[in-house]
Amino acid sequence: MDWGITLNVRDSIQGVVEKSQIADSGGLEYIWIADFPSTKYAPVVASVVAQTSKTSKIGIGLVSTLLYDVETVVQAMSTLIESHGERFELLLGPGDRLGLKKCGISFGEASTIVERVLTASKRIKSGLEKEGHRCPIWLGAQGPKMIEASTAVDGVLLNYANPEMIKWSLGLLANHPNDFRVGIFPPTLISEKMREKDMSSFYYSTAVVFLGLVRSVAEKFDLSEQLDEARTKLKTGGFTQELVKSIKTPILDMFGVSKNLEEIKEYEEAIRKLGISLLVSGPPQGLTTELVESLVRVKQQR
């Protein structure tokens, strides 16, 4: 299974360079560069990473097809490939609804969002192929419609960590093409020893995913009641540490990967058997140099 790390969430450029060099020399197969709402523009950061690292593939995204038009994305990916070689992959999706609203971008009709993302993704794929560039395209997905739609591109990155949820997602992909890839990109904390500060960041990230859970999925996994309760608290009191603490830990654990060396071996084997071929470590794993080093060490020792 390939391993990746998400960078550029809150990093300085120097921070991204240092962490990507650790990831690259440590044998991580992927470095993913987060885009909006990160304040650093991912295609530029990806160019810097390509110039300062050697072998890791560089994923860009999630890139919002609502924020950027098709031509802009094709031009950016073409430039990266022409300048630095075919090291790049692209993760597409609608993006962060609240963040986009702040920039005057409306989500539009919710019932058509999957179709609009898919149309844009197909056009981007076709545009890159016309330019003669190989650039695998992934869709970021959580809801069943987006998961099903993803078979039109090269892979799907699921926003899940729980094996039961992953298994359910894969059931929606029954007829995917042979070379189609399925990965996960949950909040992640993989380390030899867990520090309280890192666990706190981990649960913060998992709470964000849980609060954004698609309604039909919440119902499917009998989480509606807890979700409604948490969302009510979010509306009245905002996103606070108290809110995170009020969500039961077993629920938060469903939405992230928090494992030590022994646990990750077992977990990796379990999801590999399900058909997962890529584990992209989301925050907090990439937030500090120490955690990126931990990830590399665990990967090498497992």
Partner 1 sequence: MKPKATGWIAENADGLGVDTVWIGEDIGIGQETFILSAVTLMKTQQVRVGTGIIPMTIHNISTLARAALTLQEIGKGRFAFGTGIGGLQDLQKLGITLKKPVTELRSTVEILQKLWHGDSVSAETELHSLNDYDLRLKEPVEIPVFLGVRGPQMLRLTGTIAQGAILSGPFDYLRDATKILDTAAKKAGRAPSAVEKVAWLPTIPTFKGGKEILAKRVVAIVVGDMPEKVLDLIDMDREKLDRIRIAVAASGPKEGAEHVDQEVIDMFAIAGGREHMVDQFENLSKLGMTEVVLGPPFSGDWRGAMTEIFDEIVRRKA
Part of the chain binding partner 1 (CB under 8 A), chosen from 18-26, 37-45, 144-152, 223-231: 37-45
Torsion angle of the four alpha carbons 30, 264, 12, 103, in this order, in degrees rounded to the nearest 10: 80
Pick 76 or 257: Cβ nearer partner 1: 76
Name the residue nearer to partner 1 (CB basis): 183 or 283. Answer: 283
User: How many angstroms separate the CA atoms of 104 and 93, rounded?
Assistant: 17
Binding mask 70-109 for partner 1 (x = CB under 8 A): -xx--xx-xxx-xx-----------------xxxxx----
Nearest-approach distance from CB 282 to partner 1, in angstroms: 19
Amino acid at the residue 28? L
Binding mask 104-143 for partner 1 (x = CB under 8 A): xx--------------------------------------
For partner 1, which stretch binds (CB under 8 A), given 18-26, 32-40, 224-232, 284-292?
32-40
193 secondary structure, DSSP code: S
Q: Which two tokens stand for residue 222?
A: 């009998």
Helix H segments across the chain? 13-25, 42-52, 70-84, 97-102, 113-130, 144-149, 163-171, 196-211, 215-220, 224-237, 241-246, 249-254, 261-274, 289-301
Q: Which listed range, 33-41, 235-243, 277-285, 292-300, lies at the site for partner 1 (CB under 8 A)?
A: 33-41
Q: Does 20 bind partner 1 (CB under 8 A)?
A: no
- Give every CB contact of residue 16 below 8 A, 6+ residues apart in sequence: 7, 8, 33, 40, 45, 48, 49
Q: Does 51 bind partner 1 (CB under 8 A)?
A: yes
In the complex, least distance from residue 123 CB atom to partner 1, rounded to whole angstroms: 14
CA torsion 7→11→13→19, rounded to 10°? -50
Q: Binding segment for partner 1 among 44-52, 155-163, 199-207, 266-274 (CB under 8 A)?
A: 44-52
Residues that bind partner 1 (CB under 8 A): 10, 12-13, 36, 38-41, 43-45, 47-48, 51, 67-68, 71-72, 75-76, 78-80, 82-83, 101-105
